[in-house]
Chain A
Amino acid sequence: MSEGWQSYVRRIEELAARSGLEFHPVDFEAVPDSFMMEIAVYGLPVRMPHWSFGVRYIYQLIQRHMGHSRLFEVVFPGNPGHAYLAASNGLAENILVTAHVLGHADFARNNLLFRRCQEQVSEHIVEHAANHARQIQQAIETHGAQRVEAALDAALALEQHVDVDQPLRRERYPEFLEDAKVLVEDQFRKRFAALEPLAGGSAIEVKKRAPLPPHPERDLLWFVANYAPEMESWERDIFLAVREESFYFYPVFASQIMNEGWASYWHARLLREADFIPQQAYLDAIKCHSDVVRPVAAESQVALSINPYHLGFAMWEKIVEKNGLPAARAIMQQDDDFSFVRNQLTRELADELGLFRYSARSDGQIKVLEHDLTALHEAVLAPKYNFGAPIVCASHVRNDGTLELTHDSSVDGRGLDLERSRKVLDYLQRVWRRPIVLTTVNQAGSALELTAP
């Protein structure tokens, strides 16, 4: 950590507040690069142990050794927020990163999606995740590493299958069907209801049990935790812990373009306005900024993916320029990536940025497609639908406890990858402990059933 950065933090914070950013206080901590890498791999500074994180860790190590990725900061929303800065950052980088972090903090405090999820998860996700990790460590000591790993295999395989539109602490379904009678409130009915009940007419009140689930259920983690016939309570806790972390991850995932763009917009703007920064540091920071928001790698002309920092940054610049800051703040508060891209990515901007759609054949040939703004929006957003996962619902639990899962291929457009799906069923079967049937479609589009065991 370079000398002198600390003295700038306060001044950047003051400048940000003057510019209209509203943020909870942020704790900055400089950590070694190795720990930065782990935060990026786990998504949280302390998180449950699982071998799949080990795989990501190695990929990250390889990437770093090849010089592909460099992490400057990771920030966790909350009150106070936590920002981890790489200890290897120079002064200019740290000034830039401080401004960037404040942009994120403003976003996380004001964006509706973030706010809703934080109301559910609380503003202390970092501490919660650490607590989950501790619980799971205790479970390992009590029940053995193998059993805990089996539960985590299943829970983490379903981590994207949550329903953030439902509350985090969600009630179980009503056990019985409600009477379907629709009463019209009129004089006659009121008088009728006031009559003495018929003597002897004691028809036994038959309550009808509601089917399980009453409607196709998207929140598989919640459903399994609540309705698995033979699950241990500590296994349910693991499922709910993973679900809570998914609730935290969802807004980060679903507003990445906006959020990174917003933070990039603000670090650029605050840097321009901060007259207290030495000339050299300013130049270095601006160079660093242009590396971060670079659309395509320096040596190539065309990129087959879109840098969310770049896209978001360019969109926010356009919006502020055209509509002014108050309008931009309103958009920041109300949108997520879906509405943001669909509403704000205009034809002119897409052309200006050189965005295009392409189709890639399996032999590696890539063809650039006709301009079509709506289709371009969807091409940008497609990887984000449904938390990036296929739509798989729990549709029924049979009397013998068999779980029926249904994949909605009409929305997803094609069937599931059978090999992977089978493995997921295997994971899940070990905690559901009764048969599982999954319906999807095959290549020809006709229904196909996978079963476990």
Chain B
Amino acid sequence: MDEERGNRGEPSGAAQWYELFSRGARDWLRHDEKVREAVRANLPEMIAGGDVINGGARTVRVPVRMLEHYHFRLRRPEEQQGAGQGKAKPGDVFSAPGREQGQGEKGPGGRDEGEVQLLLEFKIDDIVDWLWEAMKLPNLKARVGPSEETDWIREGWDRHGARSRLDRRRSFKELVKRRAAPGATQTFIDEDLRYRQLARRRQPALHAVVFFMLDVSGSMSDRDRKLAKTFFFWVVQGLRREYRSLETLFVAHTTEAWEFNEPDFFQVSGSGGTVASTGLAKVREIIDARYNPGRCNIYLFYASDGDNSVSDAADARGALGAIAADACFTGYVEVSSGLSRQLATETGKLFAELQAAGCAAGSYALNDFEDVWGAVRHFFTAEAQAPESP
């Protein structure tokens, strides 16, 4: 269609300001910002709801409602009267499929907007930053060991080097010094040039291994596992803040124990009884085979419903002690969505003993998704305050 400016006498083709700028979009962005602020204030409750962990993505999606700019309104009556039009007789009864919108509304009329949900995407890194800020979680103490790990750092100058490392300030100083002598060349000569040098230096290691051990016996329901999964997810995020290289290892056990990769780990379900010592022994075995406890920080988080078989108590105590001796921290979350027994279980007792013995250990009863943040806070505060284990 042939377009032309409608305004009389307006030169056609001149771009109008409104073609370059949208006030609606500007005010929408401000609304967006406000929503983000509000979400940020209520973040722990909003994202504990389970579905945040979408297969290794670096963002989470949070459904939110649009903000309302409030006006004085009358209370919603039990019966609302209105006027309509169409084929209807007095006494007719029907049900409304959905509220209809008034047409052609202008100005500040009352309007009843239908519910529109937004999906806001947040970066997980941002969320963890906010949470650390909001929850005032202490930064973790890292047990540092010497390490092979090295890094290039800048150190000293040389007369030879790559052009990109030319230090102009330094070179100019050399020029000034040399020119002070009578009869010297006034311009730069090769001898003035100084290049920054790199050297290899050993860096103290901040290396961590986190074992996530999950009880997948018959008594653990899907919901229990999802609870544990949400908790584990945020623990990983928290630890990743502290350690440049974080290794995560996943162990599941029933009466036997297996090591899994991350995707499979959360899918497994087993049946049968619970023998915690098998899992703990597996963890110990992996530590011995692959890691040097003196050089890396070892964490263990164990999620179970706590129903460890009674005959296993002694074995489990021994195996747990063996790990705790080398670990920075061992944590136990009791996921029992049905009954909240507050850690008065076989496994609960084991960790209580460990804590009483002065080891860096903690336990938390996780009954609902709302508790996830309580658990994270509990463990990270406890870990930071834990005594250095021998």
CA distance A132 to B81 in the complex (A): 39
B290 within 8 A of A: no
Q: Using Cβ atoms and an 8 Å threshold, which residues of chain A touch B78?
A: 361-362
A58-B28, A160-B108, A367-B93 known; A355-B75 Cβ under 8 A: no
Chain B residue total in the interface (Cβ 8 A): 68
CA distance A412 to B15 in the complex (A): 50
A402-430, CB under 8 A of B: which get 1 and which 0? Answer: 00000100001111111011011001000
The stretch from A47-55, A109-117, A275-283 touching chain B is A47-55
B151 within 8 A of A: no
B5 within 8 A of A: yes
CA distance A304 to B83 in the complex (A): 6
A296 within 8 A of B: yes
Q: Using Cβ atoms and an 8 Å threshold, which residues of chain B touch A157?
A: 69-72
Within 8 A of A (CB), among B221-255: none
B82 within 8 A of A: yes
Contact A159 B108 (CB under 8 A): yes
A53-B23, A417-B76 known; A370-B90 Cβ under 8 A: yes
**Chain B proximity of A73: nearest CB distance (Å):** 11
Q: Using Cβ atoms and an 8 Å threshold, which residues of chain A touch B85?
A: 295-296, 302-303, 306-307, 310-311, 353-356
B92 within 8 A of A: yes
Q: Using Cβ atoms and an 8 Å threshold, which residues of chain B touch A357?
A: 81-84
**Closest residue of A by beta carbon distance from B29:** A54
Contact B71 A54 (CB under 8 A): no
Q: Using Cβ atoms and an 8 Å threshold, which residues of chain B touch A40?
A: 106
**Closest residue of A by beta carbon distance from B99:** A304
Contact B74 A87 (CB under 8 A): no
Contact B27 A50 (CB under 8 A): yes
A21-33, CB under 8 A of B: which get 1 and which 0? Answer: 0000001111110
Within 8 A of B (CB), among A1-27: 1-3, 5-6, 27
Contact A52 B107 (CB under 8 A): no
A67 within 8 A of B: no
CA distance A161 to B73 in the complex (A): 12
Within 8 A of B (CB), among A81-139: 85, 87
Contact B27 A358 (CB under 8 A): no
Contact A49 B27 (CB under 8 A): yes
CA distance A420 to B67 in the complex (A): 12
Contact B24 A383 (CB under 8 A): no
Q: Using Cβ atoms and an 8 Å threshold, which residues of chain A touch B23?
A: 38, 42, 46-47, 49, 53
A223 within 8 A of B: no
Contact B100 A305 (CB under 8 A): yes
B9-53, CB under 8 A of A: which get 1 and which 0? Answer: 010000010110011111111111010000000000000000000
**Chain A proximity of B350: nearest CB distance (Å):** 49
CA distance A73 to B59 in the complex (A): 43
User: Out of A27, A53, A305, which one reaches B82, CB within 8 Å?
Assistant: A305
Q: Using Cβ atoms and an 8 Å threshold, which residues of chain A touch B26?
A: 49, 54
Contact B6 A1 (CB under 8 A): yes
Contact B103 A309 (CB under 8 A): yes
**Chain A proximity of B366: nearest CB distance (Å):** 33
Within 8 A of B (CB), among A39-91: 40-43, 46-47, 49-55, 57-63, 68-69, 85, 87
Chain A residue total in the interface (Cβ 8 A): 109
B91 within 8 A of A: yes
A141-163, CB under 8 A of B: which get 1 and which 0? Answer: 00000000100010011111100
Contact A415 B27 (CB under 8 A): no
CA distance A68 to B22 in the complex (A): 22
Contact A364 B103 (CB under 8 A): no
B264 within 8 A of A: no
Contact A388 B108 (CB under 8 A): yes
The stretch from A184-192, A252-260, A325-333 touching chain B is A252-260
Q: Which one of A58, A361, A382 has the greatest number of beta carbons of chain B within 10 Å?
A: A58
Contact B87 A253 (CB under 8 A): no
A234 within 8 A of B: no
B4 within 8 A of A: yes
Contact A55 B69 (CB under 8 A): yes
A290-324, CB under 8 A of B: which get 1 and which 0? Answer: 00000110001111111111110000000000000
A37 within 8 A of B: yes
**Chain B proximity of A4: nearest CB distance (Å):** 10
**Chain A proximity of B136: nearest CB distance (Å):** 25
User: Out of B6, B72, B77, B83, which one reaches A390, CB within 8 Å?
Assistant: B72
Q: Which residues of B contact A (CB under 8 A)?
A: 1-8, 10, 16, 18-19, 22-32, 34, 66-96, 99-104, 106-110, 113, 116
| Given A1-B4, A29-B5, A358-B82: 13 more A-B contacts, CB < 8 Å | A54-B27, A55-B69, A58-B31, A295-B85, A308-B103, A309-B104, A354-B88, A356-B90, A358-B81, A360-B80, A362-B76, A389-B110, A414-B75
In the complex, the 5 A-B pairs of residues with the closest C-beta atoms, listed nearest first: A30-B6, A54-B27, A302-B86, A57-B24, A52-B69
